[in-house]
């Protein structure tokens, strides 16, 4: 059964519900306004709608009111509490509908904006903060020993934990980036050189800073360990916000100091320096593996990124039917229908198969009766190909006549705009269109005796076929006889 603390933690997850709705963009913009750049703002639905519209985001007041009601149900905003001094009920309704971001709602809005605006590249580690942490811990040790002002001790403790949190988060982001980039199997060329530079130079600098400052910080924490109760007592007396449910800054509880000491310890599962060294060793090892893979141009480890990108381009421009055929040819995923429609597979019996169970074998008569393997019978007649030659010649004549009729039809049509052509003329025209010279906008068929020209026009031209209509945008096609042109040139 879930206790109250676990139930409260789960209920707070509803603060992220507005990031997964159809109106996510509206919710985020409203929360960004209510969170403010400096402090949270108190605004009405009309003020929010007016400010969003001024920024170029169209939204109505009723939509803002509906979104604010949803955000209030999730706990992201709370209704504003103020003294109402109004003269009418309508003014009272407008005054009551004022909202402001809750503490956790403003925090979620800031986190979501940071995540959306973050880049996918490497984040620079705040390595300079390790020196700041060591310096501030020294001030805490000296302040407790010398009985200094609690303000100095509180400032040093807060600076220590804030600096460590920033350093830890940046280091975690950097190692996560390395893990993600090293998991890719297609790192070649410039990406590999950039990664090598990052690993060989930047990690070496980080490792030097960690080796320099981590032992010092760990020693200061060990030295400060007996004085932690005194530090906590000093901070408790200095603390002015003492409500029971107050969210204290880091460094005000003993568990915070235990966690900080374990993080900078020289060994242990939670040691940050140990985990960083392990991550860098793994990264350098993976770098060597990638280098070997790039140098070795054979085997299954060779990167096929360029080939896959080229294949992706082919898929992008291919039609559905061509894409299926391309996929089958590229990856060997052929159709299974050949398993049903093919001939029966003829598997010859093995040498150990008994003749009793083996299928019958056709044995030539001469071999069966005389034991002679030489060929018998009369010589086969030579095949007469005269008839086939005549048939092929007749087919060629028929095809030539059909092409001449189609060419004559095209020449008779002249300007191909609004004319109706037969299937033979359509086939001849389509073939000739593929041969048009882009420089002269013409193509000539000497065998059929015509020339196809293309001239630009302002509108469109249409050609009617039996199978449909061909629409040519921006051009008009014209067919002329080459024989008449030759006669005109000779006469001129």
| CA distances for 50 relative to 61, 79, 116, angstroms | 8, 19, 25
Token pair 């007016």 is found at 50
Residue 476 has pLDDT above 80, yes or no: yes
In a domain, 434, yes or no: yes
d(CA 445, CA 483): 11
- The answer to whether the CB of 101 falls within 8 A of the CB of 40 is yes
In a domain, 427, yes or no: yes
Model pLDDT, residue 166: 92
Residue 103 is part of a domain; what is its CATH number?
1.10.10.10
Let me know whether 149 and 80 are in one domain.
no
d(CA 218, CA 262): 9
Going by pLDDT thresholds of 50, 70 and 90, the confidence category of residue 94 is low
Model pLDDT, residue 176: 85
Nearest to residue 32, comparing CAs of 76, 72, 90? 76
More confident residue, 243 or 432: 432
Going by pLDDT thresholds of 50, 70 and 90, the confidence category of residue 91 is low
Segment 468-491 shows an average pLDDT of 77
List Cβ neighbours of 478 (8 Å cut-off, separation of 6 or more): 414, 415, 416, 452, 453, 454, 455
Segment 70-97 shows an average pLDDT of 72
Model pLDDT, residue 390: 87
Let me know whether 228 and 159 are in one domain.
yes
Residue 385 has pLDDT above 60, yes or no: yes
Let me know whether 160 and 234 are in one domain.
yes
Mean residue pLDDT of the chain comes to: 81
Beta-bridge partner residues of 462:
471
**Percent of the chain predicted with pLDDT > 70:** 82
Segments forming the whole domain that contains residue 432: 389-491
Model pLDDT, residue 146: 74
Handedness of CA 47, 52, 54, 58 (dihedral sign): negative
Ordered strands of the 42-44 beta sheet? 42-44, 98-101, 77-79
Could you give the number of structural domains in the chain?
3
Model pLDDT, residue 7: 46
Highest mean pLDDT among 303-312, 324-333, 383-392, 426-435: 426-435
Let me know whether 291 and 434 are in one domain.
no
Going by pLDDT thresholds of 50, 70 and 90, the confidence category of residue 439 is confident
Residue 4 has pLDDT above 50, yes or no: no
- HSE toward the beta carbon, residue 234, CA cutoff 13 A: 23
Q: How many CB atoms lie within 10 A of CB 22?
A: 7
Residue 5 has pLDDT above 50, yes or no: no
Segment 336-352 shows an average pLDDT of 66
Going by pLDDT thresholds of 50, 70 and 90, the confidence category of residue 162 is very high
Let me know whether 215 and 88 are in one domain.
no
Q: Tell me: the pLDDT tens digits for 276-308?
A: 888 888 877 877 777 776 666 545 555 566 788
Model pLDDT, residue 227: 87
Let me know whether 202 and 232 are in one domain.
yes
**Range with the lowest mean pLDDT among 121-125, 438-442, 467-471, 483-487?**
483-487
Model pLDDT, residue 317: 92
pTM, to two decimals: 0.54
More confident residue, 237 or 468: 468
Model pLDDT, residue 370: 76
List Cβ neighbours of 18 (8 Å cut-off, separation of 6 or more): 24, 27, 28, 31, 70, 71, 74, 76
Going by pLDDT thresholds of 50, 70 and 90, the confidence category of residue 315 is very high
Helical (H) or strand (E) element with 100: strand 98-101
Crossing angle of helices 24-35 and 45-54, rounded to 10°: 100
Residue 50 has pLDDT above 50, yes or no: yes
Residue 167 has pLDDT above 80, yes or no: yes
Token representation of residue 207:
């490792």
Q: Tell me: the pLDDT tens digits for 405-426?
A: 988 998 998 888 889 988 888 8
Helices (H), ranges, 147-189: 150-182
> What DSSP string runs through 232-293?
HHHHHHH-----TT--PPTTSSHHHHHHHHHHT-SSSTT-HHHHHHHHHHHHHHHHHHHHHH
Let me know whether 70 and 28 are in one domain.
yes
CA-atom Rg of the chain in angstroms: 42
Beta strands in 390-440 (DSSP E): 415-416, 419-420
- CA 82 to chain centroid, in Å, comes to 48
In a domain, 356, yes or no: no
Token representation of residue 150:
């609690």
- The answer to whether the CB of 442 falls within 8 A of the CB of 453 is yes
Let me know whether 273 and 216 are in one domain.
yes
Q: Tell me: the pLDDT tens digits for 259-282?
A: 898 888 877 677 888 888 888 888
d(CA 375, CA 362): 15
DSSP state of 430: H
Model pLDDT, residue 3: 45
Let me know whether 255 and 142 are in one domain.
yes
Let me know whether 110 and 162 are in one domain.
no
Residue 1 has pLDDT above 50, yes or no: no
Going by pLDDT thresholds of 50, 70 and 90, the confidence category of residue 339 is low
List Cβ neighbours of 467 (8 Å cut-off, separation of 6 or more): 423, 426
d(CA 433, CA 56): 51
Token pair 């008449």 is found at 484
Residue 6 has pLDDT above 50, yes or no: no
Model pLDDT, residue 239: 66
Look at residue 440 and give its three-state secondary structure: coil
More confident residue, 293 or 399: 399
Let me know whether 82 and 109 are in one domain.
yes
Nearest to residue 177, comparing CAs of 285, 279, 274? 279
What backbone torsions phi and psi does residue 216 show, to the nearest 5 degrees?
A: -65, -45
In a domain, 347, yes or no: no
Model pLDDT, residue 188: 66
Let me know whether 262 and 208 are in one domain.
yes
Segment 111-121 shows an average pLDDT of 83
């Amino acid at each position: 059964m879930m206790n109250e603390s676990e139930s409260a933690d789960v209920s707070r997850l509803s603060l992220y519900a507005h990031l997964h709705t159809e109106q996510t963009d509206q919710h985020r913009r409203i929360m960004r306004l209510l969170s403010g750049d400096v402090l949270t703002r108190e605004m009405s639905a009309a003020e929010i709608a007016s400010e969003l519209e001024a920024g170029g985001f169209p939204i109505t007041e009723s939509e803002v009111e509906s979104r604010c009601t949803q955000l209030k149900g999730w706990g992201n905003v709370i209704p504003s509490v103020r003294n109402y001094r109004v003269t009418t009920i309508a003014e009272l309704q407008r005054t009551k509908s004022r909202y402001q971001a809750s503490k956790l709602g403003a925090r979620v809005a800031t986190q979501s904006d940071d995540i959306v605006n973050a880049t996918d590249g490497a984040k620079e580690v705040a390595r300079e903060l390790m020196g700041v942490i060591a310096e501030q811990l020294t001030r805490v040790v000296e302040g407790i020993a010398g009985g200094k002002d609690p303000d100095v001790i509180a400032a040093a403790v807060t600076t220590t934990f804030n600096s460590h949190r920033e350093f830890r988060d940046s280091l975690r982001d950097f190692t996560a980036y390395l893990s993600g980039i090293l998991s890719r199997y297609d790192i070649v060329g410039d990406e590999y050189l950039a990664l090598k530079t990052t690993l060989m130079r930047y990690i070496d600098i980080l490792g030097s800073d960690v080796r320099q400052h981590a032992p010092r910080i760990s020693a200061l924490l060990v030295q400060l360990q007996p004085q932690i109760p005194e530090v906590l007592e000093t901070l408790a007396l200095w603390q002015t916000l003492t409500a029971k449910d107050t969210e204290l800054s880091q460094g005000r509880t003993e568990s915070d100091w235990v966690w900080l000491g374990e993080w900078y310890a020289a060994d242990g599962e939670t040691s940050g320096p140990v985990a960083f060294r392990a991550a860098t060793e793994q990264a350098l090892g993976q770098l060597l593996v990638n280098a070997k893979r790039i140098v070795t141009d054979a085997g299954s480890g060779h990167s096929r990124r360029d080939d896959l990108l080229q294949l992706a381009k082919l898929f992008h421009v291919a039609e559905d039917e061509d894409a299926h055929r391309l996929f089958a040819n590229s990856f060997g995923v052929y159709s299974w229908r050949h398993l049903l429609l093919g001939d029966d597979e003829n598997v010859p019996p093995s040498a150990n198969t008994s003749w009793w169970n083996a299928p019958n074998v056709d044995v030539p008569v001469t071999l069966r009766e005389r034991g002679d393997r030489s060929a018998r019978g009369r010589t086969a007649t030579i095949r007469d190909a005269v008839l086939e030659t005549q048939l092929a010649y007749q087919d060629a004549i028929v095809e030539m006549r059909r092409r001449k009729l189609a060419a004559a039809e095209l020449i008779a049509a002249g300007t191909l705009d609004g004319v109706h052509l037969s299937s033979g003329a359509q086939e001849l025209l389509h073939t000739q269109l593929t041969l048009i010279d882009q420089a002269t906008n013409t193509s000539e068929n000497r065998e059929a005796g015509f020339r196809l020209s293309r001239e630009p026009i302002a509108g469109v031209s249409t050609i009617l076929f039996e199978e449909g209509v061909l629409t040519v945008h921006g051009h008009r096609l014209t067919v002329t006889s080459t024989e008449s042109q030759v006669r005109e040139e000779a006469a001129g």
